[in-house]
Structure 1
Amino acid sequence: MKELSQEEWSEQLKEDKNAVILDVRTDEEVEEGYIPGAKIIDIYKGQEFVEEVEKLDKNKNYYIYCRSGKRSAQACTILDQMGYANTYNLQGGFMNWHGEVEGDD
């Protein structure tokens, strides 16, 4: 896992053709808005989270975020332990995100 600042995350994501954005927040949090293109898998779902993650391509680069950066750091650790090569945690999470947002009416 690499911790990336908002700027680093945004810049690296733009250049990465092998990127997958993972939102590990709850459905209620996602309703407040999300980063466009994000795949939503709630880390609080425990075993269901692990089962969903197992379906993902281990050769992709995963840019993971939550509300504040704590759950996404946990998610990065889980993916790392499952053999995913590249995981990137968004420091400060969605609450500090200044990029594009979808779904926040």
Structure 2
Amino acid sequence: MADLSQKDWTKQLEEDNNSVVLDVRTQEEVDLGIIPNALHIDIYKGQGFIEEVEKLDKNKNYFIYCKAGGRSAQACAVMNQLGFEQTFNLVGGFSEWQGNIALNE
């Protein structure tokens, strides 16, 4: 797991053609906006989160965020334990995000 500032997270994401953006916030938070093309899996689902993550490709690089950076750091740690080698946590999370935002339809 790597904690990255928004600048580094965005730069690395733009240069990575094997990446997945993962939003681990609640549905209520996602309804307020989401980073475009992000996959949403709520970390508060507990075992459900693990089951959904297990279906993902472990060979991809995961750029993970939540509201402030705490839950996404947890998600990175869980995913690392499950065999995902490349996880990147967005420090400051969505609340400090300066990039584009999509409204969840």
Counterparts of residues 1-105 of structure 1 (less than 5 Å)? 1-103=1-103
SS in 2 for 1:9: helix
Runs of 4 or more consecutive aligned structure 1 residues displaced over 4 Å after TM superposition: none
Q: Which amino acid aligns with 1:63?
A: F
For structure 1, list consecutive stretches of 5 or more residues without a partner in the other structure: none
CA distance in 2, matches of 1:12, 1:34: 19
CA distance in 1, matches of 2:11, 2:68: 19
CA distance in 2, matches of 1:5, 1:77: 18
Cα deviation, residue 100, structure 1: 0.6
Q: Normalising to structure 2: TM-score of the pair?
A: 0.98
CA RMSD in angstroms, aligned pairs only = 1.2
Cα deviation, residue 70, structure 1: 0.0
CA distance in 2, matches of 1:11, 1:31: 26
1:6-30 per-position Cα deviation (integer Å, ceiling 9, x unaligned): 0000111000000000000000000
Cα deviation, residue 58, structure 1: 0.3
Count of aligned pairs between the two proteins: 105
Q: Which amino acid aligns with 1:84?
A: F
SS in 2 for 1:74: helix
Identity of aligned residues (%): 61
SS in 2 for 1:77: helix
CA distance in 2, matches of 1:58, 1:12: 18
Q: Normalising to structure 1: TM-score of the pair?
A: 0.98
CA distance in 2, matches of 1:16, 1:78: 22
